[in-house]
A and B are shown apart, each in its own frame.
Chain A
Amino acid sequence: IAGITQAPTSQILAAGRRMTLRCTQDMRHNAMYWYRQDLGLGLRLIHYSNTAGTTGKGEVPDGYSVSRANTDDFPLTLASAVPSQTSVYFCASSVGLAGNDEQFFGPGTRLTVL
């Protein structure tokens, strides 16, 4: 693994189903983030984690949950998917709480909820 990876690359999901998007980084970054990107709205923060064992809510957290059991992994779960959750999801990581705290983004997961 080099950098940050996400799985799956894309997914079509029936409404009401449960889905977990996976994110793994090998840079030993403290902070990790989940964003969704919708046309005309830009990237919006869903949840974040400043360090393993802690999580926080972003701008649009409703319908999503996260966990951060270790430094490397930050899964995002949709408990019961709805069509409005159709979007491209990006996971990102950064060193955390630093000056030039550049975020590195994964390749994204394209999710369609029907």
Chain B
Amino acid sequence: GQNIDQPTEMTATEGAIVQINCTYQTSGFNGLFWYQQHAGEAPTFLSYNVLDGLEEKGRFSSFLSRSKGYSYLLLKELQMKDSASYLCAVRDNDYKLSFGAGTTVTVRA
């Protein structure tokens, strides 16, 4: 099975940077995903890491260390619209995703 941990809540100021950590213990690993979910809406894909290192996509970056079972999602130049839940998900060798409980980020003016 998978055990995925991420903080429950984080608060940051508009224009700032926030880092959301995710640690995992898995019986198989075949990639790590980050999804964004606004309140009352469906999750949408943000990033994918399968090799160690940093993947950058505009204001969002995601990092993976497979040996440490660790990932983070970095949100730069925060905007009010970034207020949402961020879900860390690990894919196993059967291509099934296991999700963490999510981190709710609140951006304040």
Is chain A's binding surface mostly helix, strand, loop or mixed?
loop
Q: Which of A28-72 contact B (CB under 8 A)?
A: 31, 33, 35, 40-45, 48, 50, 56, 58-59
Q: A96-B95, A100-B48, A101-B91 are in contact. Are A41 and B101 (CB under 8 A)?
A: yes
Stretch from A13-21, A75-83, A103-111 at the B interface: A103-111
A74 at interface (Cβ–Cβ under 8 A)? no
Interface size on A, residues (CB 8 A): 27
CB distance from B102 to the nearest CB of A (A): 5
Interface size on B, residues (CB 8 A): 21
Residues of B within 8 A of A101 (CB): 31, 91, 95
User: Chain B: residues with CB nearer than 8 A to chain A?
Assistant: 31, 33, 41-45, 48, 50, 87, 89, 91, 94-102
User: Chain A: residues with CB nearer than 8 A to chain B?
Assistant: 31, 33, 35, 40-45, 48, 50, 56, 58-59, 90, 96-97, 99-108
